[in-house]
Every structure is written in structure tokens, then in C-alpha cells.
Amino acid sequence: MSRQRADFTSSLYLGMRHASTELPGWSALTTGRPAALGVPPVAEGVAKALADLQGTERALLARSTLHGFADSLEVLGDERTGIVLDAAAYPIARWAVRRAAGLGRPVLRIPHQDLGSLANALDRLHARGLRPLVVADGVCGGCGKPFPLSATVSRLPARNGVLLLDDTQALGLFGDRPGPGHPFGDGGGGSLRLAGTKGPVVLVSSLGNAFGAPIATVAGPELLVDRIRKHGGSAMHASPPSTVDVAAAAHALRLNQTEGNAARERLASRVRQLRRACGEQGLPLSGGLFPAQATPPVTVAVGRRLLKRLATGGVDALLRRDCQGGTAVTLLVTASHTVTEVTEAATLLSTAWNEL
């Protein structure tokens, strides 16, 4: 009997999967009507629960983060707005920014999480009489570092600006007051909870990572989210999220209340185990406590050889670019990984690294 493969390519960080037997049945997948004509009552309840979880006044559900970003930029980025884009923002946010640029909105790109460059960009837009809309990731999926949210928010009110964050990597993972027993923080509410701050921040997040539900949310101040709900193009030209996706989101939120903190603590333990085991064998990993653990940068050719060695040993991993443009072999750790899987993956990766 062949040994089961160890999959380190999935971003289902908390191990939530939502089997059909765990969800209620449904009579139709979709209403067939534009979301502007109404959404199922259960969707409104899920949106309210997500707003409460993230510490925001209001939330709405979207079919995807691309829908959420397109609507947010369409509504918030009018002709009096200039966009400040973190150069390492996730591609989906960058795609939506390109659409806004095609509509004539000026875009200033700044180096990754560089507060000095951000301040300079805000000053340049202010001098042109433009309101800033800053687009970035709440937590970088490459280096695992949180965006300097509080420092950014403090610069926005005087310029009537807004911070638009892709919080996919943080939602369900990071939360209030990290510390003993809550290594990622309590509750999994995301970047606003982690920073302990409020302000003109709109969060666009997929629940497809930590929460395992292929649906997105747009959350933030009531005035801004209501504008996006009423005037975003997706509400007029697309159906609301499907019945099964909403059901999976509701199930994820229930699991988060009862099992979330335990799953996050187990995940942190597996990440620390991998980092410690690799470090003891001469391979330092980057990523801190974030589940994406990466080798030092390698060429694509070497990276492919490493992946082949891992695959031969029964471990599936990724070769991807980091937030600085380098390439690294990356293992995505989840709460579902066993101690044995992590130990064997660390030994296999470290041995291949030292040989190659």
C-alpha cells in the first residue's frame, strides 16, 4: 500500500472543508436575479456576523475578491481620487487597479510597506487636489508581515483618504491581542482586530483560505459599504453568491466560534515545528509564524529540482515569487498537517537543500 502524499500546497489554513453532509440542503444554487434585487435573508445574517467578527460597522457578501475590488474602486475611486498602490499587493487587487487606471484614475506605485514612500505619495496627491485611496494587503502572503495599518490610517483623515485592504490572508487567522494561548490573536477577525484600530478602512477578503468557503466580503464603515452596495456594478450585473457558498460561510463562522482558536494554536505549533526542524538541519525559513514558509531565494531551475525531490519523497510544495520579486520553494502549513508529515517534510526539504 503506497503512502499517502503530504500536501503543502493548500491555503486552507484552519483545515475547514465543509463537506456536503455538514451543510443544509438547497432547492436552487442561485436566485437568477441581480444582487441589486435582493439577497437571501441568510446572506444578510452572514454579512452581519462578518462585520462583527472584523470589527467593522457593515459588511456585504461578494462572489469573489475581484468583484469586491472592482466595485470598491469603481465607487470609492471617482474623478477626484488618486490611487496609491503597494507594489507587492496581491494580483487580484492590482487587476482591479488597472481597470481604474483605464478609467483615468492616476496611480502611484510605492515600494512594499514603505511608509516614507507612502507619505510622499500622499503629499503629491494632496498637492494635485486629489483624495488618496491606498490599496495594499492586510498581511503580505510573501513575507507574512502585517501592513502598517495604524500608521497609515493616522495619515488619511486630514486628506479625506481611504485605505482599501485585501485582508484574505488575515481573515480567520489573525485577531485581537496575540499572546500565550492565542499566537495569532483571539477570534480570527483579521487586520483591524490585529492592529486594534479603526478608521477609514475598507476590507475586501476571501473566505477561501482560513475559512475554506469560496465567497468574499467587503467590510468597513457603514457609509462607504452602503455606497458600494448601492452603486457597485456587480450588484446590477451579477447574481449574489450561491446558496451553497453562503451556507459554507455560515458553517465556517460557527466552527470559528467553537473551534477556531484551538485550530489556530495547532497551526502555530506546526509552523514552529517546521521552522525549528529545518533550522536544526541548516535551512532557515522565512515567514515568521505565517503559514507560508519559504526557503531562501533560488533560481527557477534549482527550485524545480527541489520540487521534484520533494515530490519523489511524497511531499507536494510550491515554487512562487516572494514580495521582493525573488523565487522560493514554499510550504503552506495547515492545522490539518500531522506532526509526522511536518517532520518528514522538513527532513526531505533540508536534505535536498543541503545537497543542491
What is the length of the chain?
356
3-state secondary structure of 48: helix
* Amino acid making up residue 78: D
6-14+260-355 and 20-255 have identical folds: no
Please report how many Cα atoms fall inside a 13 Å half-sphere around the Cα of residue 126, on the Cβ side.
13
Say which CATH class 6-14+260-355 falls into.
Answer: alpha beta
CATH 3.40.640.10 fits 20-255, yes or no: yes
Rounded CA-CA distance 150/42 in Å is 33
Query: pLDDT band for position 1 (50/70/90)?
Result: very low
Average pLDDT over residues 82-102: 96
Write out the H or E segment, with its range, that includes residue 328. Answer: strand 327-332
Taking alpha carbons only, the member of 335, 343, 334 closest to residue 277 is 343
pTM for this model (two decimals): 0.94
CA distance 288 to 143: 8
Distance CA 111, CA 323 (A): 10
Round to whole Å and give the CA distance between 217 and 9.
24
The yes-or-no verdict on residue 4 having pLDDT over 90 is no
| Nearest residue to 188 via CA among 131, 248, 280, 263 | 263
Q: Identify whether the C-beta of residue 225 lies closer than 8 Å to the C-beta of residue 8.
A: no
Written as nine digits, the cell of 354 is: 543541503
In the predicted model, is pLDDT for residue 338 greater than 90? yes
**Any idea where the domains of the chain sit in the sequence?**
6-14+260-355, 20-255
Q: Where are the alpha helices (DSSP H) in 232-321?
A: 233-237, 243-280, 300-312
Cβ-based neighbours of 116, under 8 Å, separated by 6 or more: none
Nearest in space to 171 (alpha carbons), one of 333, 8, 9, 14? 14
pLDDT over 70 at 3, yes or no: no
**CA-wise closest residue to 291 among 9, 4, 5, 3:** 9
What CA–CA distance (Å, rounded) separates 134 from 245? Answer: 29
Give the cell for residue 332.
503552506
Q: Are 287 and 293 in contact (CB under 8 A)?
A: yes
Residue 181 pLDDT exceeds 60: yes
pLDDT tens-digit map of 125-150? 999 999 999 999 999 999 999 999 99
Backbone angles phi, psi at 274, to 5 degrees: -65, -45
Cα dist from 53 to 89, 175, 215, 256, whole Å? 24, 9, 16, 10
Residue 31: what pLDDT? 84
**Percentage of the chain lying above the pLDDT 70 cut:** 99
Separation CA 201–CA 119 (nearest Å): 17
64-94 per-residue burial string, b: 16 or more CB within 10 A, e: under 16:
bbbbbbbbbbbbbbeeebbbbbbbbbbebbb
Query: What is the arithmetic mean of pLDDT over 156-181?
Result: 93
Of residues 180 and 309, the one with the higher pLDDT is: 309
CA angle (256, 260, 266) in 5-degree steps: 160
